[in-house]
Structure 1
Amino acid sequence: MKRLAAFVVGAVFGLTLSWSGMTNPDVLRDGLLFRDAYLMLFFASALGTAFVGLRVLKLLQARALLTGEPVAWSTVRPEKRHVVGSVLFGVGWAVADVCPGPIAAQLGQGIPWALATLAGLVLGFALFSRRSAAVAG
């Protein structure tokens, strides 16, 4: 059941990214360069929807559909790792004109340059895992 749910959510997310133009590097570049407000308005609407929706779910004491756990979260103070991670993510996004979600959607659309971006993503994960293991051990 969980795999089916993950597939459905992933498919809807990928279709939304494709339909909205978020797999198009020109759309992303124009948004990141503040030439077009579409990208930022898209993000703002998603953030607003999630902000209100999660608070309503928490107020109603809703439970997650797949796990049955209560909808809840905890807040943490921003740390150095959050700032460094956000800067790295932003730089990578600006260089590649894509973030992880659209990479999968681009692959599904058969866009060949997504393979190079995916390779960079996998390399980044591998380097992070190697570094984390070295620090921990």
Structure 2
Amino acid sequence: MSSGPEHEQHPLFLPVVFVGGLVFGVGLAVGRMARPEVVLEFLQFEDFGLLLVMGGAATVTAVTISLAVRSGRRAPLTGRKYGRRLKTFDKNVLAGGAVFGVGWGLSGICPGAAYASLGVGNLPILWAIGGMFAGAYLQGWLRTVLAESSTTAEVGT
């Protein structure tokens, strides 16, 4: 991180992130999204209560982000201007979404809710969290190997 004033972190940044994560986790627990059996019932089209939870969260987020972008203001803790982050739809996004969906279906919980699930006493979820860490490590390793092989191939031509 640069020592310039534009890159200095506000002293409240980490505490605010922590409180935000805590509120998010409590929301997941209250909405029952931290219970794999409830999530699996939703994925099997047996219980649509989570649709209301996720739909409500998506609506609040969409409205908040839209208003923040239109305001032209800067984020109070980072000083960055609010804006949309556009990402191209490519094979990596498709593969990542597929892996995410399969992992969600197998474990019955998405990565964010897995940590909240620990808070409600679901200790077997540690297997899924371990799998997430292993998968993230494997993805990083593969990306590095593929990047090195493509660089080597370009230099050799």
TM over 0.5: yes
Aligned to 2:153: none
Task: Give 1 or 2 for the bigger CA radius of gyration.
Answer: 2
- Amino acid of the residue matched to residue 5 of structure 1? V
Q: Using the alignment, how far apart are the partners of 1:74 and 1:91 within structure 2?
A: 25
Aligned to 1:116: 127
Change (3 A) 1:134 1:101: same
Aligned to 2:6: none
Aligned to 1:104: 115
- The two structures have a TM-score, normalised by structure 2, of 0.81
Task: Please tell me whether residue 81 in structure 1 is matched to residue 101 in structure 2.
Answer: no
SS in 2 for 1:110: coil
- Amino acid of the residue matched to residue 134 of structure 1? V
Deviation at 1:75, TM superposition (A): 2.6
Identity %: 30
SS in 2 for 1:35: coil
Length, aligned pairs only: 137
Q: Gapped runs of 5+ residues in structure 2?
A: 1-11, 149-157
Deviation at 1:29, TM superposition (A): 0.7
- Amino acid of the residue matched to residue 84 of structure 2? W
Aligned to 1:55: 66
Deviation at 1:9, TM superposition (A): 0.8
Aligned to 1:134: 145
Q: Gapped runs of 5+ residues in structure 1?
A: none
Task: Please tell me whether residue 46 in structure 1 is matched to residue 57 in structure 2.
Answer: yes
Q: Using the alignment, how far apart are the partners of 2:136 and 2:44 within structure 1?
A: 27
RMSD of aligned residue pairs (Cα, Å): 1.4
Could you list the per-position Cα deviations for residues 95-121 of structure 1 after superposition, in whole angstroms to 9, with x for gaps in the alignment?
A: 000111111112223321021111111
For 1:11, which of 22, 28, 31 is the aligned residue? 22
Task: Please tell me whether residue 30 in structure 1 is matched to residue 41 in structure 2.
Answer: yes
Task: Please tell me whether residue 94 in structure 1 is matched to residue 105 in structure 2.
Answer: yes
Q: Using the alignment, how far apart are the partners of 2:19 and 2:139 within structure 1?
A: 29
